[in-house]
Amino acid sequence: MGDFWVFGYGSLIWRPGFAHVETQRARLHGYRRSLCVYSFVHRGTRERPGLVLGLDRGGSCVGLAFRVPGDLRDEVMAYLRERELVTNVYLERLLKVRLDGGGTVDAVVYIVDRQHEQYAGALDAADAAAVVRGAVGQSGNNEDYVLSTLEHLEALGIRDHWLEEVALQVAPL
């Protein structure tokens, strides 16, 4: 099989964790980046959930598309499934993304399962910040996750006004 693409919109942007031969900015239409997933493992616990990003319906999302050599398909897909499907809150899909360099490709994308118990729904920035503040999981504290994601988005010139508002309420200047 040939090369394939993986779309990253959150921590995959700054910590993909898999081999790839090309990275391009890309836009996924029909889904938006949102802190809409209660984290019971990486950034919170079942007793004190945090919030992590998911792709929820509506709008569009600018992220990164990673081109992976076809001979690494099994290895990379196993890694992604172990990482992204820990609690099965995400649904693995193959969706079209538009590359900034031109053209459209099919990419592996993880979208939130709105029927899952961890789906937090559409929170306003204040409610999201209240959940994030003080939550800690296996991968560290929730504030660091939000701030690091925003820092990496800004370094790429990607604006996310809602996430910026959450960050301001989590860690006021």
Residues 67-87 as b or e (16 or more Cβ within 10 Å = b) = bbeeebeeebbeebeebbeeb
State the Cα–Cα distance between residues 149 and 9, nearest whole angstrom: 9
- Average predicted confidence (pLDDT) for the chain: 95
**What's the domain count of the chain?**
1
pLDDT, position 172:
67
Three-state SS at 44: coil
Spatial CB neighbours of 124, under 8 Å, sequence gap ≥ 6: none
pLDDT tens-digit map of 79-126: 999 999 988 999 999 999 999 988 999 999 999 999 999 999 999 999
Which residue would you say has higher pLDDT here, 75 or 102?
75
> What is the pTM (predicted TM-score) of this model?
0.91
Q: What is the extent of the structural domain holding 142?
A: 4-170
Domain containing residue 152: CATH number = 3.10.490.10
